[in-house]
Amino acid sequence: MEINEVKIIKKCKQGRLEEFGLLYDKYIKKIYDFIYYKTHHKETAEDLCSKVFLKAVDKIRGFNLEKGTFQAWIYAIARNTVIDYYRTQKSEMDIEDIWDLAGNEDIERNLDNKIKLEKISKYLKNIKPAQRDIIIMRVWQSLSYSEIAEILNKSEASCKMAYSRSINRLRQEMPFVLYITFLLNCY
């Protein structure tokens, strides 16, 4: 069932916040996955995801439908929440280098594929964080280039170019068997 986000947002702005549950249901998995890719920790991702949606409910009345989509807005809240988390943790790690592959139970059960994916992650670490974010959103979250461009506040063409360059770089640097494994687990 496709929901009409604009109608739901308008209802929420009128104080009918129970409608927000439909937006929550639509975006919870995507936002959780996005945060998990950045934190590598299930419980942290769960906590931060809760904060994201609490912030969104709290600030929904200030959301401007003319300035962008709800999806871009909620991803921006998620990105900022992760950045705030790492600032308060005073971590030695670079915020932009925190990422992980999506948890897929079938892959994790297959030890051979898990080992190959760990090897693939070594190659992904060599890609610039912004390009890696584009790969994560495109491959593991199945977002369109236009959605990614809106979330990252970049042009669609630059997102396509960054993705293409990153994939080409992986193809050149990875052994053929690992690259094929990467492709099979992406699509």
- Same fold across 5-89 and 103-186: no
Give tens-digit pLDDT for 88-103: 886 455 555 555 444 4
What average pLDDT does the segment 72-87 reach? 91
The domain limits of the chain are 5-89, 103-186
- Name the fold adopted by 103-186: Arc Repressor Mutant, subunit A (1.10.10)
- Name the fold adopted by 5-89: Rna Polymerase Sigma Factor; Chain: A (1.10.1740)
pTM reported for the whole predicted model:
0.67
Give tens-digit pLDDT for 169-184: 877 877 765 666 565 5
Rounded to the nearest 5 percent, the helix, strand and coil shares of the chain are 75, 0, 25
